Amino acid sequence: MRQYLLSVYQPDGDPPPPEILDPIMAELGKLNEEMKAAGAWVFAVGLHPASTATVLRDQVMTDGPFAEGKEHLGGFTLINAPDLDAALDWGSRMSAILRPPLAIEVRPVV
Amino acid sequence: MPAEAIDRAGRRDTAAIERIFRAEYGRAVAVLTRHFGDLDIAEEAVQEAFVVAVRRWPEQGIPPSPAGWIIMTARNRAIDRLRRESARPGMEAAASESPVIAGGASGSDGPDLGPDVSDVTEWGDDMLRLIFTCCHPALAPAARVALTLRLLGGLSTGEIARAFLTTEATMGQRISRAKGKIRDAGIPYRVPRDADLPVRLGGVLAVLYLIFNEGYAASGGDNLMRPELTAEAIRLARTLVQLMPDEPEARGLLALMLLIEARRPARTTPAGDPVLLSDQDRSLWDRAMIGEGQSLLRACLRRNRPGPYQIQAAINAVHADASRADATDWRQILILYDHLAALTPTPIVALHRAVALAEVHGPAPALEIVDALTGLDQHHVRQVVRADLLRRSGRPAEAADAYDLAADQAGNDPEQRFLRARADALRGTGESPDRDRPPGRT
């Protein structure tokens, strides 16, 4: 079994209002439960906004985030999957829930 | 036997080995990839086996089943290599667990062992696996094309680089990056499940059509066409039809390729300049190829699951039916384009539909459509179509400008020369060329 990191990238700025966000979070919760039942779920985290990040390099500290841009890593889920197609299936299930549409990067773990 | 005769026989063998290489390379790589689970090991072993064949076959004769011999020899070579390379214990273990190898492979070159590898069904499944792996949507389109030509077509990195006008280093990097992604990201070596098959097959067909189109209308360089690419695309499409006989769009794509390729002898002057469809000497068209294309098309249309490739094939079949350009059934072609535009509403389809529309209803409504198209600003065919419609509307100066713009945007040299000449003709005489023909297609 391989492992894949599903990283969700979201635009900077305020999150959607609760009437939009809450149903999305509920759907994501259901998907997580389904992943757990299938033995795919390893762990998942959501992150505070990129404006809260701090970058360290060569003993120098800067106010983050690391990469400039309008979208940043907002959270990730680590899953077990037999191959990329299976990982992409979970990723597209997640993608179908996220509104507005967000980019999900599916990347194999070494 | 006199030395000369031996030499002749040797050359004949070399040509035969070359043919076998083209025909069997992909199949051998496909079988070996399943055995060893690694594209690089499979490819290197198959290449080594052909090196052995080139050395041995001229002396010993070509074996009764050359493909079987190549696969056996490649398999033995790969096993030898895995045994030697203790640095790759994982692969060694995988190899010795392989059911095929458990039969007791010796380390020799010869086809001296093992179960029957002449099982075509088995090979067919392996070929399909390799096709779907090479055309996986997680790979960039350019990488899908390169991998398909390399792993299934047996083209060298240098040949692929030349076909796509890039350096061998760049192409080599593209191929090894794609192989690295297949390996490290775990792109599976299998035929997609039924639910995913329509979309995934569409991706495979798109790769084959891309290869064909690059051969049919080179996007750059000094030649209008690259017949080795169209031939390879047709060969791969034939394989796919054989492996997936129930997929009408695969058959439709093969029909489309054959109907277009049949016109190749008439598409250029002896000097290599393009000849428009309406001006072509139709007696030069390859009737056998047209016949095969038409019968394939009839076979897939009977299934009543029309798709974009079948409709495009049908359009080309209407052209093939016309003994003279002015006998073309443009009304039928326009109906087919209406269907195609409904299925695939892209600007390119709208552009070609406008050409048919002009033949049926005159240039004015067609020009309106072409001028309103968005997203084709860099596409020279749009300007070619515009130029012709302007000319036929009695606006030669604007037509000449459009031809010049088209020449600026055209990729290959013969086409650029051709378009400049048309612009010059319109300016030089102030009259339109007397030939009245549909533009933009050769």
Give me the DSSP letters along B230-246. HHHHHHHHHHHHHH-TT
Position B120 pLDDT exceeds 90: no
Question: Using an 8 Å Cβ cutoff, are B250 and B310 in contact?
Answer: no
For the segment B315-336, what is each residue's pLDDT rounded down to a tens digit? 999 999 999 999 999 999 999 9
Position B100 pLDDT exceeds 60: no
> pLDDT at position B299, please?
93
Chain B residues with beta carbon closer than 8 angstroms to that of A81? 186
Contact B188/A85, CB-based, under 8 Å? yes
Which residue of B186, B192, B196 is in closest CB contact with A108? B186
C-alpha A62/C-alpha A60 separation (Å) is: 7
Chain A residues with beta carbon closer than 8 angstroms to that of B195? none
Among all residues of chain A, which has the CA nearest to that of B185? A108
- Using an 8 Å CB-CB cutoff, list residues of chain A that contact chain B: 2, 81-85, 87-88, 107-108
A57 beta partners: A60
The residue with greater pLDDT, B121 or A49, is A49
Which residue of B136, B185, B188 is in closest CB contact with A108? B185
For the segment B370-427, what is each residue's pLDDT rounded down to a tens digit? 999 988 888 888 999 999 999 999 999 999 999 999 999 887 788 889 999 999 999 8
Contact B138/A83, CB-based, under 8 Å? no
Contacts of A56 (CB under 8 A, 6+ apart): none
Mean pLDDT for the stretch of residues B195-223: 86
Chain B residues with beta carbon closer than 8 angstroms to that of A88? 138
- B152 min Cα distance to partner chain A (Å): 22
Tokens read off for B21: 């290489």
Domains of chain A: 2-108 (3.30.70.1060)
C-alpha B427/C-alpha B406 separation (Å) is: 16
Question: What pTM, to 2 d.p., does this model score?
Answer: 0.84
Question: Using an 8 Å Cβ cutoff, are B187 and B133 in contact?
Answer: yes
For the segment B242-259, what is each residue's pLDDT rounded down to a tens digit? 999 999 999 999 999 999
- Matching residue, tokens 């997580």: A32
C-alpha B366/C-alpha B352 separation (Å) is: 10
| Residue from B364, B374, B351 nearest B441 by CA | B351
Question: Using an 8 Å Cβ cutoff, are B270 and B412 in contact?
Answer: no
Position B429 pLDDT exceeds 80: no
Position B226 pLDDT exceeds 60: yes
Provide the percentage of residues in chain B whose pLDDT is more than 70: 84
Position B103 pLDDT exceeds 50: no
- A88 min Cα distance to partner chain B (Å): 9
Confidence tier at B75 by pLDDT (50, 70, 90): very high
Question: Is residue B423 classed exposed, middle or buried when 0-12, 13-18 and 19+ CB atoms within 10 A define those classes?
Answer: buried
Q: How far apart are the first and last CA of chain B?
A: 51
> pLDDT at position A17, please?
92
Which residue of B184, B188, B196 is in closest CB contact with A108? B184
Chain A residues with beta carbon closer than 8 angstroms to that of B139? none
The average confidence (pLDDT) of chain B is: 86
- H or E stretch at B54: helix B39-60
> pLDDT at position A50, please?
92
The residue with greater pLDDT, B98 or B136, is B136
Low-confidence ranges of chain A (pLDDT < 70): none
Chain A residues with beta carbon closer than 8 angstroms to that of B196? 85
Position B344 pLDDT exceeds 50: yes
Q: How far apart are the first and last CA of chain A?
A: 12
For the segment B348-366, what is each residue's pLDDT rounded down to a tens digit? 999 999 999 999 999 999 9
Mean pLDDT for the stretch of residues B17-26: 88
Confidence tier at B17 by pLDDT (50, 70, 90): confident
Position B179 pLDDT exceeds 80: yes
Query: Collapsing DSSP states into helix, strand and coil, what is residue A45?
Result: strand
Confidence tier at B221 by pLDDT (50, 70, 90): low
CB pairs below 8 Å between A and B: how many? 23
| Residue from B110, B26, B53 nearest B76 by CA | B110
Orientation of helix B39-60 relative to helix B168-184, angle to 10°: 120
A61 beta partners: A56
Confidence tier at B271 by pLDDT (50, 70, 90): confident
Dihedral (C-alpha) B1, B3, B5, B6: value to the nearest 10 degrees?
90
Neighbours of B264 (CB within 10 A): 19
